[in-house]
Chains A and B, each alone.
Chain A
Amino acid sequence: MKEIKLKGGLNIPLSGSVKKFTAEDLEPKFIGILSEDYFGLKPKFLLSEGDQVRVGQPIIEDKTNQGFKIISPVSGTICAVNRGEKRALISVEIENDKKNTLFELNISGDIGEDLNNAGLWDSFRERPFDRVPNINSKPNYIFVNCCRKDSLELCPNLIISNENKFFNLGLDVLEKLAEDTVFLCCNEEIETASDNVEKFLISGKYPSGNSSAHINKICPIRKSKKTWTISWQDVIRIGKYISTKSYCFEKYVSVTGSACIEPKLFKTISGASLTEITAGNASKESRLISGSALYGTSGDSYTSYLLRHSDQVTIISDERKANLFNWLKLGEKDHSATNVFFSSISKPENYDFDTNVNGGYRAIVPIGVFDEVNVFDIDPTLFLKSLAVGDLVALRELGIFDLIPEDMSVFSYVCPSKYDYVALFKDCIEDIWKEENS
């Protein structure tokens, strides 16, 4: 067990966290499969709108990744296939009939094929594009992320220690899959059966729970070595699949946030509808987010479902006020990474957070906050400026391959000029993907 203390980062004092491990079961009526979970997806539909599906039945095959299937987590009817601009897929919505009729599960003995059949292959993400890896490929390194990514979600250790048997079975599978090493990154000590897993204790402020920060510190990305990431939930799911030899789509979700009436933990199914998870628990005029307030998706009616890799649902106030002479206010309850407000002296217990941009859009004024909150091995101001102008050549050199969109959220948060670096990052990495695959 080695310890890594990450410098930099930012503590954002949000309220409404889940503290106790008492999970409520919830079987949702509606399930959504969202295309934004699959980078570079070119779908080939095996079923169409109105068709009946069974649990585990393939719905979509990816043309860019031969053999990779996205399967249905429930049985019922495909009630909608939503498409956007240029008929690009947005989401597939499935109505759950709660009968749980199963599609036949083939077990061949080949790990990759079995995980694909069980709908678990998309647990893995391959760097640098954060994409589902090719079927049949094998990683050199797998990074298991057991860190608390956001301060509001329930500490994963509480769940992992409860499911320790399955977690260790899952780790065994990863060890067989990885050609070199499996790295386990956690905030608190986790008991593992095998000695071959290299364990790291990570401490630091947000976003030190992101895998990019761990990879940078432990075993930085090389072109010749494949690096995959997986989150603790999926390791447990793989473990359950191995031990029961049947489909496992269960997922623990912390429902959190300042506008959440009672923060609690749910045990539900991946892709569950957000409105069902938060029913009766959200205050008026609030925004439902799959993920954290810093990095999450607040869906419209087509996409209001739990994302594949969200362990958390956040509800925050959507009520926005215009302040008179805002530039003179003391700011007793305003949070900032800088010390321009009175709150830096008074340190209130609760800060006000809402969905206001809090300012006008301006050109980047690099006052130095980017360097302060940076936990990655990059020169942030130059990197962000290159993102803003879309300089793909410079971005490759400045380290875009070491990062994924979620890493940009802390910079979006602190930016006084109100840039959305997450969106800029996505555009740039998509352009690079197109350049390299055409």
Chain B
Amino acid sequence: MYRRYLEGGKFLKFLESFFDRNRPQKSNTFFYLYEVVQNFFFSSKVATTGKTHIRDRIDVQRVMVVVWLATFPAMFWGMYNMGYFGLDYLDSGGFSTTGDWHNSLIQLVGTDPTNHLHRFWFGMVYFVPIYLTVFITGIACEAIFSTIRRHEINEGAFVSTVLFSLSCPPDIPLWQAASGIAFGIVVGKELFGGTGKNFLNPALTGRAFIYFAYPTELSGDMVWVAGLADNGSVDGYSGATALGVAALEGMNGINSNFSWGQSFFGQIPGSIGETSTFLILLAGAYMVYTKIASWRIIFGTLAGMIVMSSTLNLIGSETNPMFAIPWYWHLTIGSFAFGLVYMATEPVSAANTNTGRWIYGISIGVIVVLIRVINPAFPEGMMLAILFANLLAPAIDFTVTSLNTSRRMERYNS
């Protein structure tokens, strides 16, 4: 019905023939730019050649759209949650302004800390500029690089940009977000040939870059609630994340600040997209159902995390309170769930064999607990754990296939 309506339109016919008439040669510098814009509006009409005459209807564009859609629950909850904590903070400190340019936009709707709409608007005013900045910078980097290097522009950049935006803390300065995604797209991906040839997750590469480049603005207790950094702390108000609290005070600290239900459903401060484990797991179920995300990686990571954290629970420590955190808290605090569903499952930088995917997942689960509990410097381990596992993935694949290849060569030469 909707399709007939759209296809009947004269303007669309004009647009379609416009694209057909102006299709450049493949040797043209702007061929790939043209192709991605055309594919945004109309699917290609290219016919199959060779021996296989029919093809699956899925394409890389669709793969990326599925992941993009799957980020929506976390994105909308993130905006609402940002407003919840931001307005709550303003109210408890008695401030009437967030202290920066966001304020005039926020005042358009209001700052009532109990109003759902006000909370959502507050979050939008913070999130949308971050996403727009990251999106434009990321796509521009991809387009410029691909045009110069003459390879196709990949829709993977859409996913990298939205995931990067969601992994940022609410109060991140926009120029830092821009430099992060630029680093992620160019160094994490394009230098190696673009999506499909990267060995690191581009969004995480960018996130790690800003984490280490601007540590004062991107860690500590001040950045997790929008507006906190500008106005300064208020007595009796802590902006610390559950993970931050856990690192200092252990389970006692967590229990006096949050309930498990709160942290599972997402009523905790944190990076924009990471707060609601529940919604993230729902999105994960969708991605596993569509077969875009590998269930082997997800369950491997969960298994590795549960085994490692339970082991550390048993060992115990008198000086390090993190040893006592049980696995179900590890799951809900920090960016574990976010990384598990959206980042670890990135297919290109993960292992490429089924057995390898299990090992890859388990190693992420083990490393994340090790970094969180034993490493004294960083409370957050998911980002680094996935990047380490990305580096391990080729070695994992090599080991797994060498079992297959050595068996074959032995048989073949016998």
Instruction: Provide the residues of chain B in CB contact with A320, threshold 8 Å.
Output: 45, 47
Binary CB contact string for chain B from 391 to 414 against chain A (1 if under 8 A, 0 otherwise) = 000000100110011001101111
Q: How far is the CA of A338 from the CA of B295 in the complex (A)?
A: 13
Tell which of B154, B194, B294, B412 has the most Cβ of chain A within 10 Å: B412
* B354 touches A (CB below 8 Å): yes
Q: Would A366 and B347 be within 8 Å (CB), given that A358-B43, A416-B59 are in contact?
A: yes
Near A by CB (< 8 A), chain B positions 282-301 give 289-292, 294
Select one of A322, A353, A365 contacting B347, CB under 8 A: A365
Contact (Cβ within 8 A) B414 A224: yes
Q: Which residue of B lies closest to A294 (CB)?
A: B52
Instruction: Provide the residues of chain A in CB contact with B348, threshold 8 Å.
Output: 365-366
Contact (Cβ within 8 A) B291 A368: yes
Select one of B43, B52, B292, B354 contacting A367, CB under 8 A: B292
Contact (Cβ within 8 A) A223 B413: yes
Q: How far is the CA of A296 from the CA of B51 in the complex (A)?
A: 5
Contact (Cβ within 8 A) B47 A318: yes
Q: Would A416 and B54 be within 8 Å (CB), given that A326-B42, A339-B291 are in contact?
A: no
Contact (Cβ within 8 A) A363 B62: no
Instruction: Provide the residues of chain A in CB contact with B47, threshold 8 Å.
Output: 318, 320, 355-357
* A189 touches B (CB below 8 Å): no
Select one of A223, A365, A402 contacting B195, CB under 8 A: A365
* A42 touches B (CB below 8 Å): no
Number of A-B contacts (CB under 8 A): 235
Contact (Cβ within 8 A) A295 B57: no
Q: How far is the CA of A409 from the CA of B56 in the complex (A)?
A: 12
Select one of B3, B59, B354 contacting A358, CB under 8 A: B59
Q: Which residue of A lies closest to B193 (CB)?
A: A363
* A302 touches B (CB below 8 Å): no
Select one of B46, B53, B400 contacting A293, CB under 8 A: B53
Near A by CB (< 8 A), chain B positions 52-82 give 52-63, 65-66
Q: Would A356 and B55 be within 8 Å (CB), given that A363-B194, A366-B348 are in contact?
A: yes
Instruction: Provide the residues of chain B in CB contact with A318, threshold 8 Å.
Output: 47
* A372 touches B (CB below 8 Å): yes
CB distance from A70 to the nearest CB of B (A): 22
* A297 touches B (CB below 8 Å): yes
* A262 touches B (CB below 8 Å): no
* A279 touches B (CB below 8 Å): no
Q: How far is the CA of A415 from the CA of B196 in the complex (A)?
A: 13
* A377 touches B (CB below 8 Å): yes
Q: How far is the CA of A328 from the CA of B63 in the complex (A)?
A: 11
* B16 touches A (CB below 8 Å): yes
Instruction: Provide the residues of chain A in CB contact with B58, threshold 8 Å.
Output: 336-338, 340-341, 358-359, 414, 416
Tell which of B56, B66, B357, B400 has the most Cβ of chain A within 10 Å: B56
Contact (Cβ within 8 A) A366 B352: yes
Q: How far is the CA of A325 from the CA of B414 in the complex (A)?
A: 56
Contact (Cβ within 8 A) B294 A368: yes
Contact (Cβ within 8 A) A362 B50: no
CB distance from B178 to the nearest CB of A (A): 26
Q: How far is the CA of A366 from the CA of B394 in the complex (A)?
A: 14
* A379 touches B (CB below 8 Å): yes
* A97 touches B (CB below 8 Å): no
Instruction: Provide the residues of chain B in CB contact with A287, threshold 8 Å.
Output: 53
Near B by CB (< 8 A), chain A positions 410-425 give 412-418, 420, 422-423
Contact (Cβ within 8 A) B193 A416: no
Q: Which residue of A lies closest to B291 (CB)?
A: A338
Instruction: Provide the residues of chain A in CB contact with B48, threshold 8 Å.
Output: 355-357
Contact (Cβ within 8 A) B152 A321: no
Q: How far is the CA of A423 from the CA of B194 in the complex (A)?
A: 24
CB distance from A322 to the nearest CB of B (A): 4
Contact (Cβ within 8 A) A398 B405: yes
Instruction: Provide the residues of chain A in CB contact with B289, threshold 8 Å.
Output: 339
Interface residues on A, range: 35 or more
Contact (Cβ within 8 A) B56 A368: no
Contact (Cβ within 8 A) B52 A338: no
Instruction: Provide the residues of chain B in CB contact with A359, threshold 8 Å.
Output: 43-44, 55, 58-62
Instruction: Provide the residues of chain A in CB contact with B408, threshold 8 Å.
Output: 377, 397, 399, 402
CB distance from A286 to the nearest CB of B (A): 11
Near A by CB (< 8 A), chain B positions 378-401 give 397, 400-401
* A331 touches B (CB below 8 Å): yes
Tell which of A329, A340, A357, A378 has the most Cβ of chain B within 10 Å: A340
* B92 touches A (CB below 8 Å): no
Q: How far is the CA of A291 from the CA of B51 in the complex (A)?
A: 9
Near A by CB (< 8 A), chain B positions 151-167 give 151-152, 154, 156
Instruction: Provide the residues of chain B in CB contact with A416, threshold 8 Å.
Output: 56, 58-60, 62-63
Q: Would A422 and B51 be within 8 Å (CB), given that A371-B353, A399-B408 are in contact?
A: yes
Contact (Cβ within 8 A) B65 A357: no
Select one of B43, B52, B154, B352 contacting A422, CB under 8 A: B52
CB distance from A288 to the nearest CB of B (A): 10
Q: Would A340 and B52 be within 8 Å (CB), given that A365-B348, A397-B408 are in contact?
A: no
* A316 touches B (CB below 8 Å): yes
* A360 touches B (CB below 8 Å): yes
Binary CB contact string for chain A from 204 to 227 against chain B (1 if under 8 A, 0 otherwise) = 000000000000000011111000
Q: Which residue of B lies closest to A128 (CB)?
A: B412
* A107 touches B (CB below 8 Å): no
* B49 touches A (CB below 8 Å): yes
CB distance from B299 to the nearest CB of A (A): 13
Contact (Cβ within 8 A) B60 A360: yes
* A283 touches B (CB below 8 Å): no
Q: How far is the CA of A420 from the CA of B51 in the complex (A)?
A: 8
CB distance from B149 to the nearest CB of A (A): 12
Contact (Cβ within 8 A) A357 B44: yes
Select one of B39, B59, B156, B353 contacting A418, CB under 8 A: B59
A-B contact pairs, 27 of them (CB 8 A): A222-B413, A320-B45, A322-B44, A324-B3, A325-B40, A326-B39, A327-B40, A331-B57, A344-B290, A355-B54, A357-B48, A359-B58, A360-B61, A362-B196, A363-B196, A366-B348, A368-B357, A379-B352, A379-B397, A382-B353, A397-B408, A398-B404, A413-B52, A416-B60, A416-B63, A417-B196, A423-B50
Closest 3 CB pairs of A and B: A359-B59, A363-B196, A326-B43
Question: Known contacts A367-B347, A416-B56, A420-B50; can you find 15 more A-B pairs with CB under 8 A?
Answer: A223-B413, A287-B53, A322-B43, A324-B6, A335-B57, A363-B154, A363-B197, A365-B60, A365-B196, A368-B294, A371-B353, A409-B52, A413-B52, A416-B59, A416-B60
